[in-house]
Amino acid sequence: MPYLSGQYGNASSRHYEGRMAKQAIELAREQLAAAVNAHPSQVIFTSGGTEANNLALKGFQQMHAGAHIACSRIEHASIMVPAKSLKAGEIAVNAQGRVEIDSLPKENGALASIMAVNNETGVIQDIKALAERVRHSGGVVHTDAVQALGKVEVDFAAWGVQMMSLSGHKIYGPKGVGALVVDKAISLYPQLQGGGHEKGRRSGTENVAAIVGFGAAAEMMAGEWPARMKRSMQLRDRLEQNLNKSMDEVCIFSQETERVANTSMFSIPGIDGEAMLMALDEAGFAVSSGSACDSKSIEPSHVLMAMGIDEPTARGAIRVSLGKDSTEQQVDDLVGAVSQVAKKLGKLAAAW
């Protein structure tokens, strides 16, 4: 809060107020680095995960002309869209949404971008093993860990990746701030050029308040996430068990592989996901039919399609995210609402 009011110095200025702002940013850099086992000098603050992802892919490609880039087919739109413009290759996944290790790029100097945790299904990738395979071929690995931070142990050094994207709002920090953690051996062409902020890798006056909030959230998250996820796991299991009990048929995606505890994505045969979403919204429940960052899309989830899910089932998908303050009563009420809405929409579909 102080950095939204009285302490308004520009961190690039040399006067007292500027130096205080700079110190606050550097403290946040240390807090975030400690949370992901990286060195503070490896942290580049950005406006969010989208900018971090674009900097990783485009910045690498522009510094390494001709280098092969490949991305998994279940990446966030902020990877998929720039990857398409860069004519990147695809890394396949299996029916549970896990990366097929044999489809990893084998070219020397190639960049593989693989998200640590999927933002729709919650599936956890074995980034350490995948990174080891890519590095063995002489490649470089970037991981979008936006959805992983605060849900699993994120370890930049132990995972063996060279770049990692993070975002503040996924750990209860401010929206509009993120970071790209970069190995010192990796050269990136800056996408924002100007005054040479962030050691020349990302120019622009720093959003001091947001960065401070991100650092504080990272420090708080580091000590709390195991207990948060234990609680979320109990709630998610309760949700999925009661969904199965209350309906004749429900498809819970990626149920047979490791997922983060706070995410559940399911589909009810014959029920349109967008219609379900709107009805649940009217009932007071905020859910999603896919990625919240791509909510305007009317196409079925590209994640589910990459997993081989048929289009009608994919169009019926609903994603539920549980927070640190979610309760058993809320879960039970949601299941009741889903059951009622499904019956109503089923009758309307039958009548039509």
Which of the following is catalytic: 34, 192, 293, 305?
A: 293
- How many CA atoms lie less than 13 Å away from 101 in the CB half-sphere? 13
Task: Tell me, yes or no, if 293 is annotated catalytic.
Answer: yes
| Angle of CA points 220, 221, 222, to nearest 5° | 95
Distance in angstroms (rounded) separating the CA atoms of residues 96 and 314: 14
Angstrom distance (rounded) from CA 236 to CA 241 = 8
Using alpha carbons only, what angle is made at residue 237 by residues 232 and 241, rounded to the nearest 5 degrees? 150
DSSP symbols for 291-349: -GGGTT--SPPHHHHHTT--HHHHHTEEEEE--TT--HHHHHHHHHHHHHHHHHHHHHH
**Nearby residues of 166 by Cβ (< 8 Å), 6 or more positions away:** 32, 36, 49, 52, 145, 146, 149, 178, 179, 180, 181
Q: Please give the helix or strand (H or E) that residue 142 lies within, else none.
A: strand 140-144
Q: Would you please indicate which residues are annotated as catalytic (active-site) residues?
A: 293
